[in-house]
């Protein structure tokens, strides 16, 4: 569990790059070379200039851009973070992804050794109170999925359960199902035309332009077809404590759609985080990676705040007419009940169509969801793969 940078510069940088890769940043040899080059020109990683330079080299999207300050500080200045208290009141060092992953491996190797206890988690905030009791014994291990294993040794159990739940043929079936559902998601017709050969109508302007090359003879007509846009799919999966037994299923399903429909996948409980890059890689440890990402989340579920964050920050430019937003949650919200209706109204205002997947047979009876019913296009029960098969005709 070594978070202090090693001594040799290349080794140090490689360790940092590994940390970045763990968090879904694509940092290859080319990026590392560029980072080294920048370091040679700008000096050590203590100054703000190198931080800015490396950020420009290693980040490739807004998501990574937002993730950067935390990752940089965590690797190069762990001393600044130690003992730092966040709003949730938990102490910080336990959230290190590298620690978490390493611990995970250790646990898998020496099966069922109880995790070494670090400092106990600080008292939780009032909002966490309903769930607070369970977490204390787990301090020092990642508390993902809202502490997904109160009675069993942590992630190993998740791993096993995952394996039991998902046989290869089931995964294949899920993938096929996702493909079928994606195929029936109605594309959005637009008024625009795009070049295609053969096409429905003659692009007169282009044809005339091309004819100039043949002295005015239209030898190469240009054709156009109607342009349709595939719908954008956003999946928001609730990974709070109340959902711990269903989150694995949700994430599996989300992953299938991330691959088939290029869906963007988010997880939330007190905060919202995008996990799409983790989904796109084929790995059996998706669950654990997501555990690591959400490890810093406090307890409770802030659905309304997460949806607002989603609409205002993460998907702002892409939420357009025809966007599909799938929320997978039981609807228990620690925000005030009326906030959810506002958040959903705002989402609808962007033209998105909202489908709510709930793990129970009946649609969620929580006050927040009842108030917001009119903004939700459809409720779909989802507790197993069979439910998704049954819901197939209505997902379009």
Partner 1 sequence: MQTPAAPGDRQLREQLQQVGYLADADLATTVWLAGELQRPLLLEGDAGVGKTALATALAEAQGAVLVRLQCFEGLDLAQAAYEWNYGRQLMAIRLHDGQPGTVKEADVFSREFLLERPLLKAISQDGPCVLLIDEIDRADEAFEAFLLEVLADYQITVPEIGTLRALHIPRVILTSNGTRELSDALRRRCLYHHLDYPTLAREIAIVKTALPEADTRLVEEAVQFVQRLRNEDLSKIPGIAETLDWVNALHRMHHHTLPEDMAVLLTTLGCLLKTREDRFGLGADRARQLIEGRRTVGVAEKAPANAAAS
Q: Report d(CA 333, CA 179) in Å as an integer.
A: 32
Interface with partner 1, residue 134, by CB under 8 A: no
Binding footprint of partner 1, residue count (CB under 8 A): 41
- Give yes or no for a contact between 345 and 325, defined as CB atoms under 8 angstroms apart: no
**3-class DSSP string for 317-335:** CCCCCCCEEEEECCCCCCC
Query: Smaller CB distance to partner 1: residue 121 or 222?
Result: 222
Interface with partner 1, residue 323, by CB under 8 A: no
Q: Report d(CA 123, CA 133) in Å as an integer.
A: 10
Interface with partner 1 in residues 186-205 (CB under 8 A): 192, 194-195
Residue 93: which residues within 8 A CB-CB, separation 6 or more? 78, 81, 82, 83, 99, 118
**Smallest distance from partner 1 to CB 211, Å:** 9
Query: Smaller CB distance to partner 1: residue 12 or 26?
Result: 26
Chain Cα centroid distance, residue 360: 23
Q: Which ranges of the chain would DSSP assign to H, the alpha helix?
A: 9-22, 29-42, 48-58, 62-76, 78-81, 97-109, 154-165, 168-184, 204-211, 244-261, 276-280, 286-293, 303-309, 337-349, 367-371, 385-391
To which residue do tokens 């301090």 refer? 139
Query: Smaller CB distance to partner 1: residue 8 or 317?
Result: 317
Query: Smaller CB distance to partner 1: residue 48 or 168?
Result: 48
**Smallest distance from partner 1 to CB 32, Å:** 13
Partnered with residue 237 across adjacent β-strands are: 267, 328
Binding characters for partner 1, 27-56, by CB under 8 A (x = yes): -x-xx--x--xx--xxx---xxx-xxx-xx
Query: Smaller CB distance to partner 1: residue 312 or 392?
Result: 312
Interface with partner 1 in residues 282-321 (CB under 8 A): 312, 316-318
Out of 26, 125, 175, 371, name the contact with partner 1 by CB under 8 A: 26
Nearest CA-CA partner of 351 in 229, 269, 238, 266: 229
Binding characters for partner 1, 83-122, by CB under 8 A (x = yes): ----------------------------------------
Partnered with residue 195 across adjacent β-strands are: 224
Interface with partner 1, residue 157, by CB under 8 A: no
- Give yes or no for a contact between 94 and 136, defined as CB atoms under 8 angstroms apart: no
Query: Smaller CB distance to partner 1: residue 44 or 168?
Result: 44
Interface with partner 1, residue 220, by CB under 8 A: no
Interface with partner 1, residue 386, by CB under 8 A: no
Out of 4, 11, 18, 65, name the contact with partner 1 by CB under 8 A: 65
Q: Which residues bind partner 1 (CB under 8 A)?
A: 26, 28, 30-31, 34, 37-38, 41-43, 47-49, 51-53, 55-57, 59-62, 64-66, 192, 194-195, 209, 212-213, 215, 262, 312, 316-318, 346, 349-350
């Amino acid at each position: 569990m070594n978070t202090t940078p090693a001594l040799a510069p290349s080794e140090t940088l490689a360790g940092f790059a590994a940390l970045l890769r763990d968090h879904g940043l694509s940092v290859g040899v080319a990026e590392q070379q560029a980072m080294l080059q920048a370091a040679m020109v700008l000096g050590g990683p203590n100054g703000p200039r190198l931080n800015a330079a490396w950020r420009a080299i290693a980040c490739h999207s807004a998501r990574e851009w937002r993730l950067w300050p935390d990752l940089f500080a965590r690797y190069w200045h762990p001393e600044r973070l130690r003992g730092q208290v966040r709003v949730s009141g938990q102490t910080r060092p336990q959230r290190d992804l590298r620690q978490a992953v390493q611990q995970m491996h250790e646990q898998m190797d020496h099966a069922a050794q109880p995790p070494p206890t670090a400092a106990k988690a600080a008292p939780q905030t009032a909002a966490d109170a309903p769930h607070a009791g369970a977490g204390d014994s787990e301090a020092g291990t990642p508390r993902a999925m809202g502490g997904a294993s109160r009675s069993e040794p942590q992630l190993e159990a998740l791993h096993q359960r995952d394996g039991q739940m998902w046989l290869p043929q089931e995964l294949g079936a899920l993938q096929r199902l996702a493909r079928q559902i994606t195929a029936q998601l109605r594309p959005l017709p637009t008024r625009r035309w795009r070049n295609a050969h053969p096409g429905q109508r003659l692009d007169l302007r282009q044809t005339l332009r091309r004819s100039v090359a043949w002295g005015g003879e239209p030898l190469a007509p240009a054709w156009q077809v109607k342009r349709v846009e595939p719908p954008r799919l956003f999946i928001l999966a609730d990974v709070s404590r109340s959902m711990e037994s269903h989150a694995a299923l949700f994430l599996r399903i989300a992953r299938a759609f991330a691959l088939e429909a290029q869906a963007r996948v988010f997880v939330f409980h007190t905060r919202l985080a995008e996990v799409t890059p983790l989904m796109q890689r084929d790995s059996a440890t998706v669950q654990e990676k997501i555990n690591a990402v959400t490890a810093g989340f406090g307890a409770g579920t802030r659905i309304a705040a997460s949806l607002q964050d989603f609409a205002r920050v993460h998907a702002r430019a892409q939420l357009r007419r025809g966007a599909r937003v799938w929320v997978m949650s039981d609807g228990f919200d620690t925000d005030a009940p009326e906030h959810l209706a506002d958040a959903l109204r705002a989402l609808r205002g962007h033209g998105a169509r909202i489908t709510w997947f709930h793990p129970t047979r009946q649609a969620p009876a929580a006050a927040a969801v009842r108030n917001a019913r009119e903004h939700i296009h459809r409720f779909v029960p989802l507790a197993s793969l069979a439910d998704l098969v049954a819901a197939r005709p209505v997902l379009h």
